[in-house]
């Protein structure tokens, strides 16, 4: 029996990177996991890697920028499991247009909706299931850009991730009486596919020095397995070789 046996986790952005690593870590601890992302094929690839896990693995693809899609997935989680213990609010994206003199409304909307609106929709959909059990953990992948303003991330992504941190803090302010804890996770550079959206993507040597998805998967498992009396409000993590200090 794992530390999370009998628990249910919903992981967004689960087809690659941090989301896939979080799914492996939580499933490895015995949780049943629900995998969500825009594309079915990467989710199925993640699910296939979890075939030997103790809990159930469910693939629920969907565009989380649509609130009705989010509500429908949460509804099916409730119908199937009758509970939700962990939300890993990880889906996100960025645009190569990372200067004010480049930004166009479509890029702004895509980044704000993909990082902030989707996170809000998922948190709001998860809360009723958690309130019913008076217990639950929400873990939001924000970013180093959610705390520090830096040109690498661009203004839209930076603004969205700052807002995710504020969202998480407001959840703790309102939901602590329901036994619900919220953590904003603020990693610096992680070697995930989102780096490919940069105007000048880092090379493999640079990526090898960054945080790796499994580093974040292990940290998400640590957060999810704290006692119900412990709330980790915010965690800032970086690689030792932190390029944010020199760029």
Which residues belong to the active site?
157
Give the number of C-alpha atoms closer than 13 A to the C-alpha of residue 55, restricted to the C-beta side: 26
Question: What do you get for the CA distance between the two ends of the chain, in Å?
Answer: 46
Given the DSSP bridges, would you call strands 86-89 and 136-141 parallel, antiparallel or unpaired? parallel
- In terms of Cα–Cα distance, which of 179, 183, 168, 217 is closest to 83? 179
Q: Which single residue is written with the structure tokens 């991330």?
A: 153
Gap between the Cα atoms of 103 and 190, Å rounded: 24
Helix axes 67-81, 118-133, angle to 10 degrees: 30
Instruction: Give the CA angle between residues 148, 152, 158 to the nearest 5°.
Output: 45
Cα separation, 199 vs 179, in Å, equals 43
Closest CA to 220 of 5, 63, 19: 19
């Amino acid at each position: 029996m794992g530390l999370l046996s009998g628990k249910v986790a919903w992981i967004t952005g689960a087809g690659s990177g941090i989301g896939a690593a979080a799914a492996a870590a939580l499933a490895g601890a015995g949780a049943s996991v629900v995998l969500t992302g825009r594309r079915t094929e990467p989710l199925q690839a993640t699910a296939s890697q979890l075939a030997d896990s103790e809990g159930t693995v469910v693939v629920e693809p969907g565009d989380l920028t649509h609130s009705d899609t989010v509500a429908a997935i949460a509804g099916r989680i409730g119908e199937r499991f009758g509970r939700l213990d962990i939300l890993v609010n990880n889906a996100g994206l960025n645009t190569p247009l990372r200067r004010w003199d480049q930004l166009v409304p479509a890029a702004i909307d895509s980044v704000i909706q993909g990082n902030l609106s989707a996170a809000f929709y998922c948190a709001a959909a998860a809360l009723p299931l958690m309130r019913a059990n008076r217990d639950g953990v929400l873990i939001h992948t924000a970013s180093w850009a959610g705390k520090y303003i830096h040109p690498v991330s661009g203004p839209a992504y930076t603004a969205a991730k700052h807002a995710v941190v504020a969202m998480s803090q407001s959840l703790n302010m309102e939901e602590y009486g329901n036994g619900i804890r919220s953590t904003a996770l603020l990693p610096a550079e992680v070697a995930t596919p989102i780096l490919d959206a940069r105007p000048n993507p880092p090379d493999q040597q640079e990526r090898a020095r960054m945080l790796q998805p499994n580093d974040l998967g292990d940290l998400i498992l640590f957060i999810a397995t704290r006692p119900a009396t412990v709330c980790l409000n915010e965690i800032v993590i970086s690689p030792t070789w932190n390029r944010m200090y020199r760029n």
